[in-house]
Amino acid sequence: MADKSIEIRSNLAVVQDHSRHFADFTFVYPVISRRSRGLSLGVNLNPDKLCNFDCVYCEVDRRVPGRVSEVNLNQVRDELRAMIHFVRDGGLAKEPRFNELPSFITRNIKDIAFSGDGEPTMIHNFAECAQAVAEVKRAERLDRTRIVLITDAAGLDKADVKRGLEIMDASHGEVWGKLDAGTEACFKLVNRTSVRFDRILRNLLETARLRPIVIQSLLMKLDGEPMSKQELEAYCDRLKEIVGGGGRIKEVHLYTVARPVPGPNVSRLSKEELERLAETVRKRTGLNVFTFD
């Protein structure tokens, strides 16, 4: 009997197009995500492209203004319902980007993810957005589908975001927090933000104390060099500090840049390079580390 996980991985590798726009939808888009292990419905809470980071590898083209500047929650609900029905009715499977995939992937919504063209926690009413998605998910009886927040972690200490996370917790929620560095210097170099590194670390720890989180880290080559041994050790230390402080890390996702990115000094790691880094992280932290090259 074929190994189903290998079959899924190779099927997911077929779809390279991660476009955040689909037909005439504004806020909701389908994407085959290897980190979601299947079909993910993205909810773009930042059509204005607002972000408090400016990562060297970011693929969002901020020279072109966003299509709309505000999130219309009624439209989000309508689009999400319509997309769920479209998926269930087999419509997605007929689309050119998805038609090479088997129906057990294109009809099975693994998660609904707050992500998109910026940082979702920068929206002023995140809790309301989480409530809206949780209600649609419940009404559509998507009991096994997760609600995922993909975040740079800078806003996890906001009261409204914390309320949103509690709503997500009650609805199979999961937080995927970004951690690309082990030291303040590397953090500033890669994520290019005025947010302090210790705030990110504190937010990850506090969030992980209340529910298990996923750490997502983009590793790459900068000026042709992968993360140094010292930086990798510091990165592992930060992970161990979260666990040592009472935080729970469900998984660590290590991935690399998928396509050419605007920063001329940024390039992708090979599969072998990424796996070598992952092996060190596994050994030093004892955590479940997965790579997505």
Site residues (CB under 6 A) for ligand SF4?
Answer: 51, 53-55, 58, 60, 118-119, 152
Residue closer to ligand SF4, measured from CB, 60 or 189: 60
The answer to whether the CB of 293 falls within 8 A of the CB of 218 is: no
Q: Decide whether 55 or 71 has the Cβ nearer to ligand SF4.
A: 55
Report the Cα 117 to chain-centroid distance in Å.
Answer: 12
Least distance CB 87 / ligand SF4 (angstroms): 25
For the CB of residue 51, give the shortest distance to ligand SF4 in the complex, in Å.
3
Nearer to ligand SF4, 257 or 281 (CB): 257
Comparison of 202 and 282: residue with beta carbon closer to ligand SF4: 202
Nearer to ligand SF4, 151 or 285 (CB): 151
Q: Which of 16, 15, 18, 80 is nearest to 45 (CA)?
A: 80
Nearest distance, CB of residue 127 and ligand SF4, angstroms: 21
Minimum distance, C-beta of residue 120 to ligand SF4, in the bound complex (Å): 9
Structure tokens at 235: 């990165």
Closest CA to 280 of 245, 239, 243, 246: 239
- Comparing CB distances to ligand SF4, the nearer of 235 and 255 is 255
225-261 burial: b if 16+ Cβ within 10 Å, else e: ebbeeebbebbbebbeebeeeebebebbbbbbbeeeb
d(C-alpha 221, C-alpha 219), whole Å: 7
Could you tell me the smallest distance in angstroms from the CB atom of residue 31 to ligand SF4? 15
Question: CB count, 10 Å around CB of 166?
Answer: 14
Report the alpha-carbon distance of residue 36 to residue 108 in Å, rounded: 11
CB atoms within 10 A of CB 9: 13
Residues 6+ apart with CB under 8 A from 16: 258
Residue among 32 and 218 whose Cβ is closer to ligand SF4: 218
Least distance CB 50 / ligand SF4 (angstroms): 9
Q: Which is nearer to ligand SF4, 68 or 170 (CB)?
A: 68
Smallest gap from residue 237 Cβ to ligand SF4 (A): 23
Rounded to a whole number of angstroms, the minimum distance from the CB of residue 58 to ligand SF4 is 3
Residue 18, C-beta contacts closer than 8 angstroms, at least 6 positions apart: 31, 33, 258
Rounded distance between C-alpha atoms, residue 264 and residue 114, angstroms: 29
Contact by Cβ (8 Å): 111, 147: yes
